[in-house]
Amino acid sequence: MYGTGLAKGLLLTMRHFVESYVDDIRYGFRKYHHATDNFGIRQGTKTKGVITVQYPDEKVAVPERFRFVPFLIIEDEDHPTRAGKDWCTSCGICAKVCPPQCIWIVRGNDPNTGRPVPEPEAFFIDIDICMNCGYCAEYCPFDAIKMDHDYELASYDRTTHHIHDKEKLSKPNSYWRSIAPTRAYEEMLARGTWEHKDAAKEARRGAASPRRSAPRPAVEQPAASAPAKSEATGPAEANAAPAPTAEGATPWTEDEAKREERRRKALERKARRAAQRGQ
Amino acid sequence: MDNPGLAPEKRLDATTVEEAIAYLRLEYADVVSTDDREGYQGLIVDSKRLVQIARVIHDDLGFDYLSSATAVDYLGAGDQMEMVYHAYRTSGGGALVFKAQTDREKAEIPSLTSIWRGADFQEREAWDLMGIRFPGHPNLKRILMWEGFHGHPLRKDWREAYYEEDQKPFDNRWPGGHVHRAEEKNVFGKNVTYPPDIDLGRLMDSSETAVYQSLGLGVDVERIMDKDGFETNELVVNMGPHHPSTHGVFRMVLTVDGETVTSLEPVMGYLHRNHEKIGERNTYLHNIPFTDRLDYISSMGNNHGYVLAVEQLMSLGRKYNPPTYRCEALRVLMVELSRIVNHLWAIGFWLNDIGAFFTPVLYFVQERERILDFFEAVAGSRMMCNYMRFGGLFGDLPERLKSVSNLTNDRVRDYNTMQFLTEMINERIPRTIDDLERLLTQNEILIERSVGVGVLSREDAINYSAAGPLLRGSGVDYDIRRADPYSIYPELDFDVAVEAEGDMYARYRVRVTELRESVRILKQILPRLEATAGESIWADGKPGAYAPRVPHGEAYGRVENGKGELGYYVVSAGGRGGSSNPWRYHVRAPSFINLTPMGIMSRGYKVADIVGILGSIDIVLGETDR
Amino acid sequence: MEVNLQELNKTEFPVPAELENNIAITSLSELYNWGRRNSLWPMLFGLACCAIEMIATAASRFDFSRFGFEVMRATPRQADLMIVSGTVTKKMVVPIVRLYNQMPEPKYVMAMGACASGGGPFKEGYNVVSGMDKYLPVDVYVPGCPPTPQALLHGMIALQRKIDGQSIANGDDVPWYGVGTAEPTPVPVLGPDIIDPRQMDMIRRQAEAAATDIASIGIRELPAATQMVAARVTADAAAESETSPVSQDALSFVLPTGAAPWAEAEDIREKRKLRALARKALRATRRAAAAEEE
Ligand code: SF4
Ligand code: SF4
Ligand code: SF4
């Protein structure tokens, strides 16, 4: 009969409409409460309704492999020997594999000898060209450049904001471990140590002479167990990894504070290293 | 199409490709020779008698489907221009590759549009980008750039405004990489160069008039004369390039008589991003993420075609490890998932075009998001997957599709990968397809809008080199996964979707069937993934090099992508050790070539049907314009 | 609505003493901004890959209509916001500028993705425009290739914040209430290469220079000449930006890196306020002078 097809379709739309609200009823007022596990279900394969993510009050967390713009890893502040030091050795591979060629690296040179030192003097990524392909992170032999998960980068002015220099690119190793614990763990296995390759080598060399053997294992032990634990306990643990923020604070204020903090740290680091160089 | 004149025991159109080549060599020894350059294949035909030989290839030998026709500039390596044609039989089998060469300065090769109409746009592209003239072509105008643009950009000696070096990686990035923006180095602060003889006083924007002229209209658009000089009531209507139903920045110039379309001229190039020029500067590896941006709805399929082409080339060399079984299975998994995404998107937006505004799209996007979540967790990005590598993949499936909280208010999800996949493939996607059918297949309005509209006959579909659902919707049983199989498709059990009617509804039904067949394939992939769990995705256990050397030669890798046959023609012209950058990198884009029959498909239908017909072809502009 | 005059009068702008009780400018601005920012209708037009993510953002999972980006209008006449979602090619920039000119004020431009912001991965291509801001004033840049739907939403919220930071008391913020008709952005011409009419003079000079063989047009070969010309270009650009409406504070204001964009809005607002004060003072002196003359 003419019209049955239409009616069937309309029934289906009706069903979709109702299904979206079944979910609301199921969770009641706790729908957007972050403590319940309902988000995973609502955004998973099980849900039937059409459900909106209430950005910015709730955000879909990104998976570990997610790639946005790259960042450089530097050693944590509390690292005993290499605090604030770059992991990057300015080998230039990332600049070579970068498809749109948006990485610029100035290789560091020892001011006294003029020989290259394994540390970049300057490092730039033009995020107006970067295609977020992840090659730099994939092919970096020192695990020194990684893809960031922070996608909230909108700005009013690209001339000053969109070429990321080394200061803006640098983030501590612990940050990488917090945003991608599993991958950091896999990389550790591949490297054989939580330390930077060179540092590990040096430490091995140092271990022969008794002077510098102490710090390495002390760092390695707790760090090695952390991601293993988070694997076992699942999302709750991972959720807790970055510093939790006070509930109710708007994301912008928080974000800004975080960035402010990061900047301050970077400046401090810089100052300290300048002082070290000066010595 | 048998051949009474020659009548050997075996019919000519049933010979193998090798036999066909031998036959041509024998019969036309004076104008046909084998291409014996290292790693090359096929025949070189004297361009003076190209049309005659092509007719033999088409009529007698039965290679009725011209897949790709493209030009290569051999500057410094013979200094000639070369047109490369890949012809296939719709009954299946490999390619008959033939080439015609011409001088660089006065490049001229006879047009083959009289034999394969599908050569139309491809020859126009070769004229536009390479500057080869095609005598006999009915409308040899620029197609991607505008009329009046200076030079033919794909020629090897043509340099763009931001030219730095011939090949990447550029030297000034490391070790002395002082950052600059390219526009800062250009006097005009923009991506432009002007020929020294530019005369601003007599500057005219000729790009528009050219478009109208190619329709047979005078420059004066107000008064339209038909061919005999009578004034008619026809009206020229421009749709696009920012029309909401042209699926991007595509433009059609219609001549309408009342509501009826009398002629239609597709105008494209509004998203011409110079993919091929950049691709020739890039290294082989650099091109993979660029292929993502061709058909950005199904980037996995684009990756696949390109890695197949380069793997073909690499297999010519000594050190080559074919991908492992698990790698192939993962590739097929990804490609079929993107086919589902692609068809859902295509059907959704086609419905938008014919009036079912946004309800179906919203349902399908909801499903697409689930699949994209999977891509994001596995490959790192929702759309630009950049997942495949030569001889392998970016990475194996992660054990869990887990997200990690990183920003404030982040909500975390955590699923078991295989369980997620199983649920998607066994429950969610089939359910969506059922819903789709229930919503649409019997819908009376849909049927009335689409049955008998936009008809493309079987002969035309083949002759115009239509591909994918457009070809199969016209009753041609041609699916590259079956006709010229690659990867592990031979061992998978699925049917090729064919509908004979050739109208919009037939294409819709082909897509729905393909959705179901994709699910069927995915269901076979799941046990294969489980069986190979733990196996490496790399033949030698470790990821490939970042700068592979590719041996000298040419390759044409083609896959059945959601939109149709996606082919990559890659030429490697390295020295003895091979090359690290392709000499020529050409994309045979289904969305581009499928537009060739757009004109004949829409003639005689109403303006409101045109958007539907375009939607039923399913184009994506990233690929059309490249 | 209960109107607390005392509250309304608490404006950041200097109010002459005699008008103190009649002015409610802050709140009016707020109302005005509230209206503008919650009904930003984007134009329904996509350019490239980023457009797909824009559609995904418009779809039910992310749904930007929650922020008042309610309806996408296919006609520029009904749109407030142009989301430049993808690669801008030379061929396409012509219609884009035309569309922009057809949009009624107040209008905003958002550059979505690396391509629209600064050229993106295809920047080196011969047909690609290195950023929408080469032709149109851009309000918000959303980096990423493509920006995920959430990144786009973040950019939209950033735009709303920017609007929040504006005031109707400030002529620079609401140029559309100025005198006379607004100048349309000149539409580029497709010649041998794309020609921006604003650059005609410079191109002519270059052509003349080429004719007299001082410099060829492919400037890269002549670094010395380039510098000379480049200096002139910068001077030109500076002179141009003096007069053109494009030169918003956001473009000339150099900020410390790393701050959230709304923090900049604060700064910009601060600067605007200072300028408003200065203008007011100027006007006051003029008035005083006029009065004296009388
Ligand atoms: S590849 Fe890694 S170590 Fe080498 S320059 Fe790049 S970031 Fe530094
Ligand atoms: S992500 Fe890709 S484009 Fe971006 S800097 Fe790394 S290699 Fe270059
Ligand atoms: S920024 Fe990336 S995703 Fe967006 S249009 Fe450009 S290439 Fe495509």
Instruction: Quick: pLDDT tens for C32-70.
Output: 888 888 888 888 888 888 888 988 888 888 888 888 887
Question: Which ligand sits nearest to residue A105's alpha carbon?
Answer: 1
| Residue A165 located in a structural domain | yes
Mean pLDDT of B536-548: 82
Across chain B, mean pLDDT equals 84
Task: Report pLDDT for B586.
Answer: 92
Last residue of a domain, one of A171, A201, A231: A201
A81 plus A48 within the same structural domain: no
Q: Do A52 and C142 touch (CB under 8 A)?
A: no
Task: Report pLDDT for B568.
Answer: 92
A166 plus A112 within the same structural domain: yes
| Residue A111 located in a structural domain | yes
pLDDT band at A220 (very low <50, low <70, confident <90, very high): very low
Looking up residue A97, the CATH number of its domain turns out to be 3.30.70.3270
Task: Report pLDDT for C24.
Answer: 56
Integer Cα distance of C83 and C149 in angstroms: 13
A160 plus A197 within the same structural domain: yes
ipTM > 0.85 (yes/no): yes
B531 touches chain C (CB under 8 A): no
Task: Report pLDDT for A208.
Answer: 54
Reply yes or no on whether the pLDDT at C260 is more than 80: no
Question: What would the 3-class secondary structure string for chain C be?
Answer: CCCCHHHHHCCCCCCCHHHCCCCCHHHHHHHHHHHHHCCCCEECCCCCHHHHHHHHHHCCCCCHHHHCCCCCECCHHHCCEEEEECCCEHHHHHHHHHHHHHCCCCCEEEEEHHHHHHCHHHCCCCCECCCHHHCCCCCEEECCCCCCHHHHHHHHHHHHHHHHCCCCCCCCCCHHHCCCCCCCCCCCEECCCEECHHHHHHHHHHHHHHHCCCCCCCHHHCHHHHHHHHHHHHHHHHHHHHHCCCCCHHHHCCCCCCCCHHHHHHHHHHHHHHHHHHHHHHHHHHHHHHHHHC
Integer Cα distance of B187 and C219 in angstroms: 7
Integer Cα distance of B45 and C213 in angstroms: 45
A92 plus A157 within the same structural domain: yes
pLDDT band at C230 (very low <50, low <70, confident <90, very high): very low
A51 plus A76 within the same structural domain: no
A22 plus A130 within the same structural domain: no
Mean pLDDT of B455-475: 89
List pLDDT tens digits, range B378-408.
998 888 889 998 888 888 888 888 888 777 7
| Residue A275 located in a structural domain | no
Across chain A, mean pLDDT equals 74
A83 plus A147 within the same structural domain: yes
A49 plus A141 within the same structural domain: no
| Test the C interface: residue of A42, A47, A55 with most C CBs within 10 Å | A55
Query: How many pairs of residues across A and B have Cβ atoms under 8 Å apart?
Result: 233
List pLDDT tens digits, range B145-160.
888 888 888 888 888 8
Task: Report pLDDT for A27.
Answer: 72
Task: Report pLDDT for A244.
Answer: 36
| Residue A54 located in a structural domain | yes
Lowest mean pLDDT among A198-202, A268-272, B203-207, B286-290: B203-207
Task: Report pLDDT for B339.
Answer: 92
Task: Report pLDDT for B252.
Answer: 86
A48 plus A92 within the same structural domain: no
Strand partners, C271: none
Of the two residues B271 and A223, the one the predictor is more confident about is B271
| Binding site membership of A132 for ligand 2 (Cβ less than 6 Å) | yes
Contact of C190 with B148, CB cutoff 8 Å: yes
| Residue A2 located in a structural domain | yes
Task: Report pLDDT for A41.
Answer: 74
Contacts B204 to C, Cβ<8 Å: 191
Mean pLDDT of B503-508: 90
A79 plus A49 within the same structural domain: no
Task: Report pLDDT for A230.
Answer: 37
Reply yes or no on whether the pLDDT at B202 is more than 80: no
pLDDT band at B180 (very low <50, low <70, confident <90, very high): confident
A143 plus A114 within the same structural domain: yes
Residue of A nearest to C148 (CA): A151
Reply yes or no on whether the pLDDT at A163 is more than 50: yes
Within the 120-179 window of chain A, which residues sit less than 8 Å (CB to CB) from chain C? Answer: 126-132, 151-162, 165, 167-168
Contacts C268 to A, Cβ<8 Å: 156
Reply yes or no on whether the pLDDT at B269 is more than 60: yes
Of the two residues C253 and B69, the one the predictor is more confident about is B69
Reply yes or no on whether the pLDDT at B377 is more than 70: yes
pLDDT band at C216 (very low <50, low <70, confident <90, very high): very low
| Residue A245 located in a structural domain | no
Instruction: Please identify which residue in the block is written with the tokens 């006051």.
Output: C284
Q: How far is CA A32 from the centre of its chain?
A: 25
Please choose, from the candidates B624, B496, B626, B494, the residue with its C-alpha nearest in 3D space to the C-alpha of residue B563: B624
Reply yes or no on whether the pLDDT at B279 is more than 60: yes
Of the two residues A148 and C236, the one the predictor is more confident about is A148
Please choose, from the candidates B381, B74, B511, B625, the residue with its C-alpha nearest in 3D space to the C-alpha of residue A138: B381
Last residue of a domain, one of A173, A201, A229: A201
Reply yes or no on whether the pLDDT at B7 is more than 50: no
Of the two residues C286 and B298, the one the predictor is more confident about is B298
Reply yes or no on whether the pLDDT at B221 is more than 80: no
Q: Do A52 and C257 touch (CB under 8 A)?
A: no
* Residue B141 CB neighbour total at 10 angstroms: 16
A126 touches chain B (CB under 8 A): yes
Q: Do A52 and C66 touch (CB under 8 A)?
A: yes
pLDDT band at B336 (very low <50, low <70, confident <90, very high): very high
Last residue of a domain, one of A60, A81, A105: A60
Task: Report pLDDT for C23.
Answer: 55
| Residue A95 located in a structural domain | yes
Instruction: Please identify which residue in the block is written with the tokens 């009376």.
Output: B444
List pLDDT tens digits, range C140-197.
999 888 899 999 999 988 888 888 887 777 777 777 776 667 778 888 888 788 888 8
Q: Domain residues for A15?
A: 1-60
Q: Do B205 and C123 touch (CB under 8 A)?
A: no
pLDDT band at C246 (very low <50, low <70, confident <90, very high): very low
Q: For residue B332, what is the enclosing H or E element? A: helix B325-353
Instruction: Please identify which residue in the block is written with the tokens 């601060």.
Output: C270
| Residue A40 located in a structural domain | yes
A190 plus A111 within the same structural domain: yes
Task: Report pLDDT for C258.
Answer: 42
pLDDT band at B520 (very low <50, low <70, confident <90, very high): very high
Task: Report pLDDT for A224.
Answer: 37
Give every CB contact of residue C263 below 8 A, 6+ residues apart in sequence: A256
Ligand 2 atom 6: residue of nearest CA: A136
| Binding site membership of A135 for ligand 2 (Cβ less than 6 Å) | yes
Total domains in the fold of chain A: 2
